[in-house]
């Protein structure tokens, strides 16, 4: 017997992914605003001797941001898994959830590059823009997951703009 997730359950999972993506944006902003971007000057370790180092305020802020990435990754993986077991499957849910995983993986690579380049402004901006795109995609996933089943009779394929507004 295959497990099923209700539409309401999937909407909660999608909302959790959105909340976690917003949280990582906020902690990333905190890193930037406090000048903690190189509080950990190595990647994936915090420094040459420790994986996790909270010996200074800057290192602690950077560590929270890095460690939250694991929670974000788990939330988007759960969203992908949920998109495969929810019944009925919201249209585009699997593609949107899958794009979140790809985006988070891209963020890990870009984040490493940001550290390796000493906070190069171009790599930093790319990191932020991917974050913004992830929040938009997660918002769309939440909207798709909350679509009222009565709308199915009116339009089987909701338009992107109608999802946003």
Active centre residues (catalytic): 62
Question: What is the Cα–Cα distance from 17 to 37, expressed in whole angstroms?
Answer: 24
HEC letters along the chain: CCCCECHHHHHHHHHHHHHHHHHHHHHHHHHHHCCCCCCCCCCCCCCCCCCCCCCCHHHHHHHHHHHHHHHHHHHHHHHHHHHHHECCCCCCHHHHHHHHHHHHHHHHHHHHHHHHCCCCHHHHHHHHHHHHHHHHHHHHHHHHHCCCHHHHHCCCCCCHHHHHC
């Amino acid at each position: 017997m295959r497990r099923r997730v209700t539409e309401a359950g999937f909407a909660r999972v999608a909302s959790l992914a959105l909340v976690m993506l917003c949280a990582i944006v906020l902690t990333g902003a905190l890193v930037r605003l406090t000048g903690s971007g190189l509080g950990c000057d190595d990647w994936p370790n915090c420094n040459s001797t420790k994986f996790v180092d909270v010996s200074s305020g800057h290192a602690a802020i950077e560590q929270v941001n890095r460690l939250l990435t694991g929670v974000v990754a788990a939330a988007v993986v759960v969203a992908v898994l949920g998109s495969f077991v929810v019944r009925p499957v919201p249209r585009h849910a699997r593609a949107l959830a899958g794009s979140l995983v790809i985006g988070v993986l891209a963020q890990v690579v870009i984040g490493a590059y940001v550290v390796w380049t000493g906070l190069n402004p171009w790599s930093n901006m790319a990191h932020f823009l991917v974050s913004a795109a992830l929040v938009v995609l997660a918002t769309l996933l939440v909207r798709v997951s909350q679509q009222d089943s009565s709308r199915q009779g009116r339009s089987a394929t909701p338009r992107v703009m109608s999802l946003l507004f």
